Amino acid sequence: MLHSPGLAGPAQELGAHIRFRSSLPGALNEMAIIMVARRWNAQFEWYAHSRMALDAGLDPAVVEAIANATPPPFDPDAEAVHRFVSELLERADVTDSSWDAVVARWGKQGAIDLIGAVGYYTLVSMILNVDRYPLPEGADPLPELGGG
């Protein structure tokens, strides 16, 4: 984003809101971010945020399941976020029941914060992918997923 300062400044402000002022619990916000990284196979995004997710208290089994695109073990709050984000990434929309489940827990602000996280980290993932941003030496890449 250094090549477009007009984009970089506002994007940084949006990123700061999503990371530090979201109405969602930190572990679930980070779960949404790593779901985006997995969807776009954004290696560096995964590398950075999978650690942040663990530090925020996300169950390591959930992180591993997302990495391998297998069903994670969930509590009801994590299941609501996972379903919402999965639908949003797959359909660019969510069902009424997914919307209602998130709104019941964190209000409409929570639902909009979640959409914002998915959108922002899609942008970041794509920029990092196009830039071919490397993983640190010795870091394990996301596993390859079958099925093209």
- The string of pLDDT tens digits covering residues 93-140 is 999 999 999 999 999 999 999 999 999 999 999 999 999 999 999 999
Alpha-carbon distance 28 to 33, whole Å? 9
pTM over 0.85: yes
**Tokens standing for 21?**
């002022």
CB 33 within 8 A of CB 49: yes
Please give the domain boundaries of the chain with CATH numbers for all domains: 12-131 (1.20.1290.10)
Least Cα distance to 117 among 6, 24, 9, 1 occurs for 24
Greatest CA separation for the chain: 44
Task: Tell me the C-alpha distance between 146 and 125, whole Å.
Answer: 21
Confidence of residue 146 (pLDDT cuts 50, 70, 90): low
Q: Which tokens hold the place of 86? A: 């999965």
CB neighbour burial string for 83-95, b if at least 16 within 10 angstroms, e if fewer: bbbebbbeeeebe
